[in-house]
Structure 1
Amino acid sequence: MSEPQGAEAVVLVGGKGTRLRPLTLSAPKPMLPTAGVPFLTHLLSRIREAGITHVVLGTSYKAEVFQEHFGDGSGLGLELEYVVEDEPLDTAGAIRNVAHKLREPDVMVFNGDILSGVDLRGVLTTHRQARADVTLHLVKVDDPRRFGCVPTDEDGRVTAFLEKTENPPTDQINAGCYVFRREVVEAIPQGRPVSVERETFPGLLAAGARLQGHVDASYWLDLGTPAAFVKGSADLVRGIAPSAALAEGTGEALVLAGASVDEGATLSGGTTVGAGCTVAGGAVVEGSVLFDGAVVGEGARVERSVLGANALVQAGAVVSDAVIGDGAVIGARCELRHGARVWPGVVLPEAGVRFSTDV
């Protein structure tokens, strides 16, 4: 398949990921291990698979981590460049901040925390066929009340940007993937925060610009919360969400090299077991993410949770819908449920103590 000429990509990865703390205390959200590799690797692999090779990363929080890991991008078949945002500029401001690195007529822009199955070539084709100034990927969701919605006319042209409402007129929402004509990027005000949905897009509509919608019902997930992060990783492992970065086939579990899983343990639901992890006999790990070096003791149960690097869940403990920080210890027969978060290095006592809040 031929490569799309005249297109490049911008990926915005400057957020602090506060909703994912304590996981993001040590790494930016797009660098969290997701199905065995940093999440950003999955997005970059799909960009490369679509034939785009020049990618600019708009970074801010822990900016050096991205360049240390990905370098010039040659390992992924890409040419990567980096622009650091010194102060928060919102989405449009962050796009404008990288404009000096752009060189192609069409610029695909991605939010760096979205897991999506959209046909990237299809979005670009929609943009070019419509001769649009900006094209937005709009995804249909079951409950649009949780999002602002974006109605389109019979030609697919965007007609408005609406705030959250109890009675949305459409089930189409902004999916965080766009194609901009480069001239539109260069016209965004420079050096100050600018919102795409509150300023740039409404301003373009008012000026008569063509904003086109590429509407589909593909897989889509915002990885902004611990529950969504766990689900996204599990869906990648099981092959429900697409990626070109999974070295091994999909299945119920992904066990990385150097991990030790007792034959009496049960792994299911798209679990990832990181390098150097240990899962003891009788343990059950379902739909969870174990960062490198985590340990699950004998008979322990871990469900839909994240265990940070070198975290320890002792024998008989139950961890359900929880986040365990790096190096934390969950004592034998403890129970953590309902979104509990344990901060790095915290040691919880044994003997059946129950927690359902942050610790």
Structure 2
Amino acid sequence: MAFKHRRWIVLGLEYLGKFPSRTRFRPLSLDIPKPLFPVAGLPMIQHHIEACTKVPGLNEVLIIGAYSKNDLAQFVQEMSSTYGIVIRYLQEFTPLGTAGGMYHFRDQIRSGSPTYFFVMNGDVCADFPLQEMVEFHNSKQALLTIMATEATRQQSLNYGCMVLGKEGEVAHYVEKPSTFVSTLINCGIYLASPEIFQTMADVFHANQQQDHLMQLCCNGRDPAHIAFEQDILTRLAGSDRLFALPVFRWWSQVKTAGSAIYANRHYLALYKQKQSDRLASTNKNYCHIIGDVYIHPSASVHPTSVLGPNVSIGPSTMIEPGVRIREAIVLGKAHIQAHSLILHSIIGTGTSVGEWSRVEGTPCDPNPNKPFAKMENLPLFNINGKLNPSITILGTRVSLAAEKILLNSIVLPHKELTRNYKNEIIL
């Protein structure tokens, strides 16, 4: 489907490492911005960009976030070169919310008179149905289209919930309701027409008319802060201009490190369907491959090692003889020594796992017996003050001695482990 004007995408990034509440992805986000964390061998938001480049007529990407430009400069340059499109990063210097950030940079977004533009949260992973959204949005002449999916009744309370009319229009929308509203939830993927900025302007001017001092005292946020869900979607619900497209493809938020393992598995499965050349094979990589495995071309993997299913190996990593890895992400420049075992874990950049050691976590996948179940983003500790079972994480440049066992633990960067650990956080 061709359009007269070019279309843009806006990626809204999570502000990890900038504000105190955004700590659930640590220690992985201590050394790399969360949106650049590799999942299935690619930075998380590269999957967004790659999906968008497959939409006909889309030729520019804007990334909005609170990270320093230096943190994303190399990534932006590499993506522009890889996909042959213009990519720019627009830095917020104060938290404005998704809609507030878009409104702040409205001139950059509207430049070139786009017909539509995508808005995508940086902490979601999915088999993105972007072309379907374009066709649906166009057929409904919508102001804004939401990608929606089903959740369980209990889990729906953690998301934005909506009730649809007969034509797919959103009749009612509530963000994280206190009581049950609907099992249809917001996926954080939108397609908007430029007229959406008038709605944002109405909210912005309404905020400005309030006493600034009283507002800052009451809720502590900038008057220019506009929350996309609470301030825009709630306002548009029932107007016959807000629509939702329910989809049943894979979708997940990546709020915690455990959810990165889950996303890794599904992106590898998508490779198998659509880009099988990215996956390793026993014939191509000369080691024993089980299921879906990604191995960076610069990694060194011994022929007697066994990898998979659902494993990603980063650049310049060394895998020695007899190693067994399953359901894991091993980042770049790691050294996995002979006969070690890694299960349900993330191994940080430059980390060394000693020979005959065992690193194992607890899978935290959605309940397979509940249709539409999503990842449970559990807090680090339970109500009894004990560490919730989760995957094991070794931060950057951790050294685990030979013949040691590390179970259900989180290790911060630059630690030397010389004994066994179980259900601990090693600070």
Is the 8 Å Cα contact of residues 334 and 354 (structure 1) preserved in structure 2?
Answer: no
**Does 1:204 pair with 2:246?**
no
Match of 1:158 in 2: 170
1:85 aligns with 2:92: yes
Matches within 5 A, 1:280-359: 280-320=320-360, 321-338=391-408, 340-350=409-419, 352-359=420-427
Is residue 2:146 matched to residue 1:127?
no
| Cα distance in 2 for residues equivalent to 1:128 and 1:311 | 49
When normalised by structure 2's length, the TM-score is 0.77
Aligned residue type for 2:225: P
Contact preservation (8 Å) 1:151, 1:172: yes
Q: Within 1, Cα distance between the matches of 2:425 and 2:129?
A: 40
Equivalent residue for 1:56? 62
Distance, in Å, in 2 between the alignment partners of 1:308 and 1:221 is 23
Residue 98 of structure 1 and its aligned partner are, at CA, apart by 2.4
Distance 2:187 2:418 in 1: 43
C-alpha contact 1:118 1:216 (8 A) present in aligned 2:
no
Matches within 5 A, 1:96-111: 96-102=103-109, 103-111=113-121
Q: 3-state DSSP class of the match of 1:20?
A: coil
1:248 equivalent to 2:278? Answer yes
RMSD: 2.5
Q: What's 2:386 paired with?
A: none
State the aligned residue count. Answer: 355
1:242: how far off? 7.5
- 2:194 aligned residue: 182
Q: Tell whether the 8 Å contact from 1:111 to 1:176 is kept in structure 2 after alignment.
A: yes
SS, match of residue 319 in structure 1: strand
Query: 2:72 aligns to what SS in structure 1?
Result: helix
SS at match of 2:339: coil
CA offset digits 1:188-222 (Å, max 9, x no partner): 1557221112111112237x351101111111011
Contact 1:234 1:270 in 2 (8 A): yes
Q: Is the 8 A contact 1:13 1:30 kept in 2?
A: yes
Deviates more, 1:163-172 or 1:99-108: 163-172
Match of 2:378 in 1: none
Deviations along 1:227-282, one digit per CA (max 9) or x if unpaired, are: 111221232223379777x8624752111122222222210022111122122222
Instruction: Specify the SS of the correspondent of 1:230.
Output: helix
Aligned partner of 2:28: which letter? L
CA distance in 2: counterparts of 1:357 and 1:5, whole angstroms: 53
2:89 partner SS? strand
Shift in CA distance, 299/133, structure 1 to aligned 2, threshold 3 Å:
same
Change (3 A) 1:258 1:2: same
Q: Output the CA distance in 1 between the equivalents of 2:108 and 2:358.
A: 49
**Counterpart of 1:239 in 2: which secondary structure?**
helix
Whether 1:221 aligns to 2:231 is: no
Distance, in Å, in 2 between the alignment partners of 1:33 and 1:123 is 26
Partner of 1:193, secondary structure, is coil
The structural deviation recorded for 1:44 is 0.5
- Distance 1:243-1:8 versus aligned 2 partners, 3 A rule: farther
Q: Which moved more, 1:40-49 or 1:88-97?
A: 88-97
Residue 41 of structure 1 and its aligned partner are, at CA, apart by: 1.5
- Residue identity opposite 1:213 in structure 2: A
C-alpha contact (below 8 Å) 1:117/1:242 kept by paired residues: no
Q: 1:257 to 1:4 in 2, by over 3 A?
A: farther
Task: Return 5+ residue gaps in structure 1 as ranges.
Answer: none
Which of 33, 40, 45 is residue 28 of structure 1 equivalent to?
A: 33
Of 94, 103, 107, the residue aligned with 2:101 is 94
Q: 1:3 to 1:39 in 2, by over 3 A?
A: farther
- Whole-Å separation in 1 of the counterparts to 2:175 and 2:257: 25
Which residue of structure 2 lines up, in the alignment, with residue 13 of structure 1?
13
Greater Rg by CA: 2
CA contact (8 A) 1:256 1:273 kept: yes
Aligned twin of 2:381: none
Residue 164 of structure 1 and its aligned partner are, at CA, apart by 4.0
Amino acid across the alignment from 1:9: I
Between the aligned partners of 1:229 and 1:285, the Cα distance in structure 2 is 16
1:182 to partner: Cα distance:
1.0
2-side partners of 1:145 and 1:268: how far apart? 35
Distance 1:139 1:18 in 2: 26
What SS class does the counterpart of residue 142 from structure 2 fall into? coil
> What is the CA–CA distance in structure 1 between the aligned matches of 2:306 and 2:410, rounded to whole Å?
24
Normalised TM-score (structure 1): 0.90
Once residues 353 and 222 of structure 1 are traced to their aligned partners in structure 2, the CA distance between those partners, rounded to angstroms, is 29
Unaligned runs of 5+ residues in structure 2 are 17-21, 205-222, 281-290, 361-390
> Separation in 1 of the partners of 2:124 and 2:273?
12
Q: Which moved more, 1:101-110 or 1:197-206?
A: 197-206
Report SS of the residue matched to 2:174.
coil
